[in-house]
Structure 1
Amino acid sequence: MIPTIFQVLSVLGKVPGLKRFVDVEASIQERTNEEIHEVVGAFDDFVKVPSNILVDVKEEDQAIVEAYGAIQFPDGSWHVSDDLKHSKDLESWMPNATDDMIVRFENSKITRSGKPMDAVVLPQDTITGSVSSAMPLMFAALPVIACAAFILSRFFGAYGYLALLAAVPYLKAIRVDKSASHAIGSFFCLLIGPLFVGIQSLGGAGVAALRSLMSGPGLIPLGIVFLVVVTLTFACCYFSSKQGTKHEKSLDLFARALKVEVSFVVYAVAVSLLPAPLSLIFIFAVPNLYCIRYTQIERETRTSETSSNSNHFTIGRHENTARGMMKKQWIAQALRALNDKTPLIPLGKATGFLFNKMYRFAPVPGKMLVASLKDTSQHILVIAKSGGGKTFWLRKFMALVKLTKWAGAIVGDGKNVLVREVMSLMDIVIEPGINLSLSQGMNAQQLVQAFRELKRKGKMSEDESSFWTSMGFIVLEHVAMIVEAACEAEKFVRSNTALLISDEEQQLIKFTSIERLAELEGDQERLSHAKNAIAETRANIRKLEASLKQPRSCYWTIGQIQRFLNVVNQIKQTEKGFELHEEFRGAFDFIEKSGYLNVADAANQIKGSVSYFANTWAVMAPETRTSITSNIDNALNDVFRGRHLKNADGVLWADTETGIDFQGVLTNKLWIGVNLPTMVHGVGGQITADIVRMRVYNLIKNRPVNWADLEGHNPVFNFIDEAQSVIGEAERDLIAMARSLGCYFVFLTQNISSFLANFSEHGAHNLFELFATKVLMQNESSHSTYKYFQEMLGKARLTPYKTASVGINNQAMLQRYANSALVDPEHPDAVFMQKLREKGVGAIQNSYVHSAPRQIDVKDAAHRFEDVARIKNFDLETVQGTELSWVMDDDDFANTLFQGQALIVVSRAGSTRTEICEVGGLEADQVEDFMRENRRV
């Protein structure tokens, strides 16, 4: 077998000193590695965080860091200036970023030099020993083969022309890499043409005819031939000119034609006039120069293609600046995360879906996406369809928060069943038999506001007209104001009575001293006066103590309010006008005579309520009053529904004034929840749960502004499952300021549409914007929810999955094809596979740079890869850049959100982190075991 030029060069490349110049494969490999290294790298990575405070400075390192400019503070810590914190010399002592803050873009598509990535490499550069890289050798080999055939024909006659068969692999390679027309042109111009001219130069008919044409009589036909050739050349150049303006095309046309004509004339004259030895050298040497011209053309084409790529997929100065700004943001975020000492709660494990798109806010695949308890202060919203896994995820999240012993919590849901599932987490459980007051901790206005909220949520009896409901709540607020004032006035009187008893006791001590002194002095008159005073004082004390022992007549309870409502309509007309029921009149008189109005903060409101009943309510038409009170009385009756809603002594919660104090939720990290399933306790259980929640809200609203600085105060989590059926105006008003008050909301709902029943579309979206952390699970039934998340994440410059990567794993790609059954000679269907391969099976379409499929035949290409025994049909992967697209496409939701995975958008250390994550959770029967095991840890 005749060795190819490539094989000869490879053998010569093994000679010391020649490898660098003639080992084409090694040269191609080296250049490819350099360019891939230039493009594919991780230049935004950082693990160490530039900081002013050094860490882990050992005693033996102190002299070193001091030499670099670090200063040791009295507390032993080492500090550096802002200029030095970015020093590479001190990097070893910089703090490590938290695990979730590490940035590592292993497939970063920016060059080390900062140039646009696609201006550096083209597809043909990213595969070692590609046909494109060796193509100049293909063209150079053809004149060499022609020369060899010419020489051999001198010795062996016609048999010497068999050497032309050695050109077949090179012609096929040219056809595969370039085109069939290139192969045909190379066959005639670089192979047959030089051979024919060489034969004729030794006395053939062609040279004789040429010399005849160059004689005097032959100049006329020579001129005609020259004119025809010039015309054809200009025509070919014209049709090959495809770009530029009309003037530019004309200039290009003239330049190309002129070059061809001059080359033709010079070649013809040289062949005709040079002596035989020189003419033969000229004949076979000139075609070899085409490989140089080809290389120049390829370089110009490459420049044009890379320029086009740079314009099409440029990174540009603006994006380079943006990347620099983004890195500063990452470092600032990492520093904030280091300074955040609150416990971390894992939310999910990053899958790398958005990371592989080169989304800048995505964590490294395989890392846990976490939130510190400080991060959760910006509230969490979890959305998933029924059965989508949101409660499963919530149970584990709640258990992890409980284990931190960092915050109190109130737990609830639309059906009052969640508490039963997490009973091992609870400290206070509201259930039948417990001593609970529904009005404790709320004043009249707050209590009525709670009823208004319940009415808006549809949890109280429906009325016939919103007018009567509105009037009913006005009356209810006035009645509640009177009841509260009467209760407070009675407490005020009893408090004053206790003070009077104390004063009388002091007087008793004084008179007793006088009595003893009179006895010693024998002053009978003073002794008699003292004894009378002592008797009178003791009588007063007994009278005052007896009044304190009398049961109170008025209690601040919902039952008391309802009893007042029952008599508010009992108005009788007298000669002096309309007269309220004596219980009302007695309450008015008692409040006024008690002196409470002199110290009451709501004295004006109380007087207004008294005036309302005396001057407005009393003169209303009886049927109007009846319509108003009947509506509000029906609403209050809902509170008394449920025969089990009472304490251990059988007293209804609505009639209980004092019970469990919820202050421990804010100060002792207690967890409270309502275990009153709706299926058992009906609407009464729902109302109780809402009132309990509102009691906690009032405590939160009334806590000191500087609560975080006070000893014993703690944040409060508010976990609400099926939030769409629970939240209302109270939650919406509180959540806007809840962070500063230490209340952190965690809402779970099925979809966005479920909130539109309670709020307008604008109001619902405004509410969602208050949640910095959002978790979206399986929710294929709600397209509006997906649309909301898509618009929330917006668009970014991403590397879409439809685009192939720049860096190619050559070994893996070639191995894949090498192991393909398509060209396996040992395969049982090898003959059939060969037919498929001949029909093009196995060829891969390349990028827009190469519009035609490029196929490399195994037999022709195998010799170019020494490490792979069999190479199958393969093609180069396309080079692409980034494009502006949705962070989550329409089909991304359906392809990624299923049971066990969720889209998590978390506000981590003041900046967003977003990824598709694997999420876990706990079943209801696993919570107690989980807590027991982890408490031990």
Structure 2
Amino acid sequence: MALNISILSAIDWTSGLGRKFRRKEGESTTIRETIIVNSNAEFENLVGRFDLSDRVRSRVLDVPPKDTQLAAECGAVWNEEQNAFLVPDGMSEDDFQEWWPKVPEDLRDSQSRITITKNGRRAEGFLQGNDMGQGNDSIATPLMYLAFPAIGALTLFLVSLIGWAGWAFLLTSIPYFIALKQGESMKEALKALVLLQWIPMGMASMSKMSALGMGGAAAGSAGFQAYMAFFTKALMIGFSLVGVIFVVCLVAAASHPHRGVIGGTAARFIQAMKWVGIIVVALLVSQILPWGLGDAVPFVLACMYAMQFAEGNFVQTGARLYLQNNDNNLGTQGALVTSHVKAREQQAQNALKDTTPLISVARSLGHLTDKGYGYSPDLGTVMMLSWRDLTQGMIIFGAIGSGKSYSLMRPLARRFRRTSLALATKRGMTGLAGGALIVDGKDGAIITDLEGLFDIVVKPGLSVGPYEGLEPDQIVKALRGASGGVVDENSKLWSDGGDAFLYHTGIILKALVEHEETYRAWCMAKIDGLEQSHLLLQLEERKLRKLGQDTAEVEERLAEVVQEVGLYSCVVESDRGWAYTPMHHAKLLASVESVIPTGTLPKPNPKVMEVIKYLGLEEPDNSLEEEGRAAHAAYLAAYRKRQQNEPQTIHPDLKRPMSQLQSSLEWALREVPDMNAEQRQSFTLNSRGLLQKLLRGEKLRDGNDIPWHSIEKGEVDVSKVLYGAMVGLFLPPTQYGEAGEMMMRLLKQRVMNGIKARGAHGDKWRDALPGQVEVMLMMDEAHLLLTADDTDLFSVSRSLGLMPVLATQGFESLEVAFGSRTRAEVLANTMQSLIAFKSSYNTKDYLIKRLDVAMLTTFKQKTRGIDYKGGLDNYRHSVLNDPNHPHAAVFDKMRLEGAGRLTALRVDPATGRRWRIGAEDVIGQDELARDIDMPTGGKREVQPLFAPEEYQALLEPRGHAIVALNRAGHKRIDLAELVPDLD
């Protein structure tokens, strides 16, 4: 069996006896195991994310199959309903911490911030710059020193056996000499070779010759005389060495006066004297040791230098760490440093409870992580949002060509459909588990690129009813939506008046359509009844004739029935007079506008009077003469008879006091004629202009060449979005003008109308409206399509299952759309998630205000921190590590000389000079060329998350964006890369 002996096994053997008597339970059995355990413990203490746990406190446990028996033995109870182990009542969940559920993957931040250790101490007191780059001195370095005296002793032994050929063994010192030269310096390697090998060999040779002399006269006084001669010689050498050391110390004191005496030159001189005394005494004692042991004393003394070196390194490292710990305080900045911890714990708990699908958004670039921001993800972490998070809204800012559509919106739509399909499959649903309405307010490019994704794409050739499913007030808001429902204060009077014309005529038009349909249905039912009566009367007539009785009365009744059928048939067979379309809306508006001038008071247009009579509004008595009063009395008597005999000819809303229809009809009957002619024309010009935009949509026709503005009910139902369809509106204004824009607003309003209707059921709308699902509303160039009503709806979108995703070029676009910076801020702030690409100056001001400030690490002021990452970046970018550099061979030699060390140099407060422990005060050229400076001057201070100059610089690359997500109710912010193929 081969003998396997190493330094570690030797140490194990020497320490084995003591360990047998004092070993504690759980203590390592070998030195190797001890080193591994201690190293892991130190690493765990220093490198990690200690403010956040990777598990969520919960009574519902995530027990792996291998631990099920152990969990049951510990007291956990299996729950069939939740298909998991639960912590029973009466027991603390802290006892089951190892089985707490894992934090969702996108919230697991483990990247070390290097501000505090796991034990809560400052990291600067445990870590040097060089530890991050190349590591500290190897534990094998003392062994390199031990090799020199060992080789020297073996060489003398071989010389005594084989003569001068034994000196060749000294060549084995070369590898150790090179190792010390590379690890320390040429100066240190030469010093070790001379002090630890050559001098001990010379002393051992001198001691041997003295021993031979003593041995020749051991029986007489000559031996004592030889020893005294050696003693005298040793003292002379010792005092000479003391003198040399004293002179060196005095020269050092003169050349470095600022070091002082106490703790400087004097301390070093006293330390040197101690070692001189130890060496002299050891040499004297070696002359009287038996069995030739004195020959080994010089080598034993040389081996002690390895211990001195290790101890010196240990002391110097400790001193450096102590100074770093005093000068830097990144980990101890008060409550703001840990203010995020509780919020992040709540975030993890909320995210674990959220079972809705996750959608990837971006990949973090670690910008705020480097600054120690508590809500930033690790470098490379995929930032995500769940469907529930998305119901709180997302707004996207990005200038033209910044990549917001390509990098974010299109991938987001694809991921939404993919997750929707997966969720539907999981639930056993047909179709999708989430609907989407996607609109491009400008050129329709996003619809074209995603066309294969849609179930319905609204475009010319399909039959579309503009007013279908909309109430008059919603029509007004949609038509007025080009300005966000808000106009300039100087023209507010005229816009409000125009909206009033649209609204009241819309109410009247809807009532006309409803009344006509209801009355026609009643007439049809009446005809059916009369035809049945006619048949019975005919049978009665035949019966009377057979009996020879008089049939005159029956025949008279038959004539009346035939007459009534004829009257009702005229109603049923005639064409419809009104339809709920923009065309008929414009027709009614023109009738209301056309007031008949008279000598006294203007009168409503006769067509308006026909409408009023048709609906059954009681006309007021405006007569000023007796003849007029008599005519009105006759009219009133006929109206009362109509109410009594033909109530179906009167709209039901007119039977209710103060109904909206009654108000609108009285407005058309009284207020409009009373208006000043110029005022009335201004109002109608404003409202008529909005309707004319729809009527000018010449290209918007169905397959039968019927224009959309004349279609009441179309074959395309965008409200299917509420039931899981994905619908795109391809009506770009660049192709279809303002009519396309108006149609997109009206169709969007129809979907929003369905979302609003859910509010009647609160959070129970899913149960009350079977089949309805969550809906994503994605709008590119959203400022062209938004209305003031949308802001109110978005504020409650979470409970209604609406996921608004709005993209606009800049914050000023919202200001223009809403006519006010405050209203624009209300909408933008309602969107809880924000993504900003390269955008305008006004947008930057808004982002600075919204993202606010936090306590971050900066490197602006001196002696307040160490930028470890910055030091590593300097090391990585150094030409020393460039193998393709023209001077790569020179840099190889520089590295062999020790170049490339990372160092943080302290500034002496008294002299203002930089210094290192164990090195010169003034840094020489060799040190400047060898060392890579660790940037210092870091400080934890409250500042904006992104400095003003960073917005332009960091967002310049296409696809880079500031991503501020509202993930599980809390912030998740960083500079990120939007990768279209992130999935």
TM-score where L is the length of structure 1:
0.69
Code of the aligned partner of 1:436:
V
Map Cα deviations across residues 756-808 of structure 1 (whole Å, 9 max, x no partner): 223322222222111111112233xx234334333433333334477535799
Contact 2:906–2:915 (8 Å) recurs in 1: no
Shift of 1:53: 2.1
Structure 1 match to 2:836: 776
- The 5-angstrom pairing of residues 286-685 of structure 1 reads 308-309=326-327, 312-313=329-330, 315=332, 318=335, 322=339, 325-326=341-342, 329-392=343-406, 393-403=408-418, 404=420, 405-417=432-444, 418-454=446-482, 467-504=493-530, 507=533, 525=549, 537=561, 540-541=564-565, 543-572=567-596, 578-592=602-616, 594-598=649-653, 604-660=659-715, 662=717, 664-685=719-740
Code of the aligned partner of 2:456:
I
Map Cα deviations across residues 862-884 of structure 1 (whole Å, 9 max, x no partner): xxxxxxxxx95567886967444
What CA distance in whole angstroms lies between the structure 1 residues aligned with 2:901 and 2:483?
A: 70
Structure 1 match to 2:797: 738
Shift of 1:56: 5.0
Structure 2 match to 1:753: 812
3-state secondary structure, aligned to 2:777: strand
Shift of 1:340: 2.2
Map Cα deviations across residues 517-568 of structure 1 (whole Å, 9 max, x no partner): x69x976659997787677656644543442121111222222232233344
3-state secondary structure, aligned to 1:916: strand
Change over 3 Å in CA distance of 1:155–1:369 after alignment to 2: same
Map Cα deviations across residues 691-725 of structure 1 (whole Å, 9 max, x no partner): 22223222322344242223111222221112233
- Pair 1:67-2:73 in alignment: yes
What CA distance in whole angstroms lies between the structure 2 residues aligned with 1:692 and 1:711?
A: 23
- Pair 1:911-2:970 in alignment: yes
What CA distance in whole angstroms lies between the structure 1 residues aligned with 2:459 and 2:848?
A: 42
Q: Which residue, out of 732, 741, 745, partners 1:686?
A: 741
165-174 or 882-891, which moves further after superposition?
165-174
Gapped regions of structure 2 (runs ≥ 5): 1-6, 19-33, 143-187, 204-227, 281-307, 421-431, 618-648, 921-928
What CA distance in whole angstroms lies between the structure 1 residues aligned with 2:458 and 2:318?
A: 82
Contact 1:45–1:103 (8 Å) recurs in 2: yes
Structure 1 match to 2:56: 49
Q: Which residue, out of 836, 847, 866, partners 1:804?
A: 866
Structure 2 match to 1:279: none
3-state secondary structure, aligned to 2:616: helix
Shift of 1:345: 0.9
Shift of 1:379: 0.7
Shift of 1:483: 2.8
- Total equivalences in the alignment: 786
3-state secondary structure, aligned to 1:757: helix
Code of the aligned partner of 1:412:
V
Code of the aligned partner of 2:403:
G
3-state secondary structure, aligned to 1:644: coil
Shift of 1:34: 7.2
Shift of 1:487: 2.4
Code of the aligned partner of 1:581:
N
Contact 2:541–2:551 (8 Å) recurs in 1: yes
Contact 1:124–1:130 (8 Å) recurs in 2: no
Structure 2 match to 1:767: 827
Change over 3 Å in CA distance of 1:411–1:550 after alignment to 2: same
Structure 2 match to 1:103: 109
Structure 2 match to 1:222: none
What CA distance in whole angstroms lies between the structure 2 residues aligned with 1:192 and 1:443?
A: 103
Change over 3 Å in CA distance of 1:390–1:169 after alignment to 2: farther
Q: Which residue, out of 719, 734, 753, partners 1:698?
A: 753
Contact 1:118–1:881 (8 Å) recurs in 2: no
- The 5-angstrom pairing of residues 871-910 of structure 1 reads 873=931, 882-897=940-955, 898-910=957-969
Map Cα deviations across residues 253-300 of structure 1 (whole Å, 9 max, x no partner): xxxxxxxxxxxxxxxxxxxxxxxxxxxxxxxxxxxxx99xx9999999
Map Cα deviations across residues 28-57 of structure 1 (whole Å, 9 max, x no partner): 999999766544444345444332223456
Shift of 1:397: 0.7
Contact 1:642–1:684 (8 Å) recurs in 2: yes
3-state secondary structure, aligned to 2:368: coil
What CA distance in whole angstroms lies between the structure 1 residues aligned with 2:50 and 2:489?
A: 67
3-state secondary structure, aligned to 2:965: strand
What CA distance in whole angstroms lies between the structure 2 residues aligned with 1:631 and 1:160?
A: 112
Contact 1:666–1:700 (8 Å) recurs in 2: no
Contact 2:366–2:380 (8 Å) recurs in 1: yes
Map Cα deviations across residues 163-218 of structure 1 (whole Å, 9 max, x no partner): 5799699979999999765665567666699999x99xxxxxxxxxxxxxxxxxxx
- Pair 1:789-2:813 in alignment: no
Map Cα deviations across residues 890-914 of structure 1 (whole Å, 9 max, x no partner): 4443453322322211112222222
What CA distance in whole angstroms lies between the structure 1 residues aligned with 2:344 and 2:652?
A: 60
- The 5-angstrom pairing of residues 171-186 of structure 1 reads 184-185=265-266
Code of the aligned partner of 2:823:
G
753-762 or 29-38, which moves further after superposition?
29-38
Change over 3 Å in CA distance of 1:73–1:585 after alignment to 2: same
What CA distance in whole angstroms lies between the structure 2 residues aligned with 1:784 and 1:82?
A: 56
Q: Which residue, out of 780, 784, 788, partners 1:725?
A: 784
3-state secondary structure, aligned to 1:758: helix
What CA distance in whole angstroms lies between the structure 2 residues aligned with 1:364 and 1:730?
A: 39
Contact 1:379–1:746 (8 Å) recurs in 2: yes
What CA distance in whole angstroms lies between the structure 2 residues aligned with 1:504 and 1:886?
A: 82
Shift of 1:409: 2.1
Structure 2 match to 1:852: 914
What CA distance in whole angstroms lies between the structure 1 residues aligned with 2:605 and 2:333?
A: 85
Aligned-pair identity (%): 21
Map Cα deviations across residues 438-489 of structure 1 (whole Å, 9 max, x no partner): 2222233332333333466799xx9996544443333343333333332222
Shift of 1:120: 6.1
Contact 2:63–2:71 (8 Å) recurs in 1: no
Change over 3 Å in CA distance of 1:20–1:181 after alignment to 2: farther
Map Cα deviations across residues 352-402 of structure 1 (whole Å, 9 max, x no partner): 332333322222333321111121101111112211110102111111112
TM-score where L is the length of structure 2:
0.66
Change over 3 Å in CA distance of 1:603–1:30 after alignment to 2: closer
Shift of 1:437: 2.0
Contact 2:78–2:84 (8 Å) recurs in 1: yes
Shift of 1:749: 1.4
Contact 2:49–2:110 (8 Å) recurs in 1: yes
Contact 1:51–1:85 (8 Å) recurs in 2: no
3-state secondary structure, aligned to 1:731: helix
What CA distance in whole angstroms lies between the structure 1 residues aligned with 2:110 and 2:247?
A: 46
Q: Which residue, out of 78, 82, 87, partners 2:85?
A: 78
Contact 1:845–1:853 (8 Å) recurs in 2: no
Code of the aligned partner of 1:79:
L
Gapped regions of structure 1 (runs ≥ 5): 1-9, 22-26, 200-289, 859-870, 923-929
Change over 3 Å in CA distance of 1:174–1:335 after alignment to 2: farther
Structure 1 match to 2:119: 113
523-532 or 617-626, which moves further after superposition?
523-532
3-state secondary structure, aligned to 1:551: coil
Contact 1:486–1:554 (8 Å) recurs in 2: yes
Shift of 1:837: 9.6
